[in-house]
Amino acid sequence: QSGTRLCGGSRCASRPPHSPLPRRHRPSEPPEPLPPPAPAAPAGGAEPPSCPGHRSRTPRRKWQVFPGRNRFYCDGRIMMARQTGVFYLTLVLILLTCGLFFTFDCPFLASTLSPAIPAVGGVLFIFVMGMLLRASFSDPGVLPRASPDEAADLERQIDAAGGSRPAPRTREVLINGQTVKLKYCFTCKIFRPPRASHCSLCDNCVERFDHHCPWVGNCVGRRNYRFFYLFILSLSFLTIFIFAFVITHIILRSNQTGFLGALSLTLSCTVLEVVVCFFSIWSIVGLSGFHTYLISSNQTTNEDIKGSWSTKRGKDNYNPYSYGNILTNCCAALCGPLPPSLIDRRGLIQSDTPQTGSQSNGSSSHTTTQLHSHMVGGAH
């Protein structure tokens, strides 16, 4: 009959095709998913997580907005001046001269005289390259620029001290009985600590500024002066070492085959080394001697050129930074603790703090004030 069908051998009634099944005969359905909980408000006023599909901004570091004219490499770990062409010339001259020496001279000298010759030369070469790279890649002691709030506060102090007339942009401090002037930097908006100066090439105030050296591609200041001095001193020894043994190589070869017969490819490269060493040895040794004099008297190149402590300025003028002993001055310059960097170039930029060209790099107003007071009160 219509409307009935057999189910497993028994008769059961079937419903019309369009009638809904009773609830007990409906297939089981999965429960509807609950809506996700609302994200909790982040502490500290931070922004909520970005919506799906929204591209999150990568946090920037302070070296990326550094106001000075510097180049940074390896995510801010390496800091150099913007003009680095002469630095690469320095590398080429050292690598070329040493490469020719180890390739064409050392095999003959090691077999004829002593195998210690290439070993000593290798140690000197590694030390020279290490000191060069350390002096070139380090922060020389850059002072942070004042933030807009710090600069405005300093301007109010200057105006209040000047009264009706424009106040002078200098301050005087007493260091070991000698009056020292602190000059105001209109670029960095700070009173520079004693012995600091503004480098016009890097556009930074550098603590204990010595000079800007294009040969190392960086300023030379408080944090890398010892590496610069050890570089030029060891380079002097290396140049004299190569020059002396290259001459020895030429003499020994000439005794064996005659001078004209010794002018082969090997000796041609050796003659090139003699020429390079001869024209560079005078300037390198002279520069090493000059900086040895500066270290022994605890002066900087900047102070010596300006004659800051010369008796021509007055009979009572003297260097307040000298310890009065050559050995103590040398130890203070070469063996003292290395101060930390003040610019925090790898620090992250806060999202709620706009970074401008005149803003400080990781320093607050009291930090800058403490730096100045430390330099004034702790010159010795």
Q: 346 CB contacts (<8 Å, ≥6 apart)?
A: 61, 62, 63, 75, 76, 77
8 A C-beta contact, residue 75 and residue 216: no
Report, as residue numbers or ranges, the catalytic residues: 213
Could you identify the residue written with the tokens 């970074």?
Answer: 355
Nearest to 132 by CA among 20, 229, 241, 31: 229
Distance between CA atoms of residues 181 and 173, nearest Å:
6
Helix (H, G, I), strand (E, B) or coil at 332: helix
CA torsion sign, 61 to 63 to 64 to 65? positive
Residues β-bridged to residue 190: 185
Encoded tokens for 26 = 């409906």
Distance between CA atoms of residues 210 and 303, nearest Å:
8
Residue 260 exposed, middle or buried by CB count within 10 Å (0-12, 13-18, 19+)? exposed
CA dihedral 12, 16, 21, 24 (to 10 degrees): -20
Could you identify the residue written with the tokens 């009959």?
Answer: 1
